[in-house]
Structure 1
């Protein structure tokens, strides 16, 4: 069985780049490495939660059930779930990537992923502040238009990715 090493070339490129930069300015390179270490330390707990969620989803839901709820036949329910969870989700967007890639392998529609990410622009904790500054009509309008745009983006992604070019492999 052949093992795929995703990102190995990029990692090697970054390592070589840091080595070259160390010759140019060792002090700044060390500062950059320390900052990268801090970012990594912040990411590890988030990635652990995403990994646990991925394991939970993988073992709790059979791929056929997942595909039924969020696959090709999901219809309006799939869009509602994607938009709703997108609005409610928190944390950095890239933390969701591994889980969604795994779910796409089990039948999750690409358009629902796009809609989820676009719907993240609506921030529930910010809505009361928006109402205070801009009024209820504006806040409702921009929220609904954002969700409509999220749906349109999802539909466009599904049309663009109807073949192999957008597969997560």
Structure 2
């Protein structure tokens, strides 16, 4: 007798669940390095790594003090609320965030901050940047090759 996947969930019997094989095999040396880093971190540092602050409200000092793992540049926000911030202003700020995340002077672990950007149809944070139609408009074009190229450029 076989049992369906939904029945396995209903029974809460994980032995009935389908087995998944990861796309990438585990790397024992990398896993050991990660475990070593985690073991060196305080609880505060581990919690900080799970926090993503919004760029409007975060400073490099916050990244260092709170061990922030990520900074998000969400839709409609600009560096220091300045729509006309230059690319070099952005690069300088990102460098400051990175350096703050790598500063171990207070005993923290150096883990590079992740920078996230809301760029679903291009990056509109800079004057003169390229923007593409929203996804519904791209779908209406019925051109998968074009959509693929736009996805590559946005990434």
With structure 2 as the length reference, what TM-score do the two structures score? 0.30
- Greater Rg over alpha carbons, structure: 2
With structure 1 as the length reference, what TM-score do the two structures score? 0.28
Structure with greater strand share of residues: 2
Q: Point out which structure has higher relative CO (alpha carbons under 8 A, 6+ apart).
A: 1
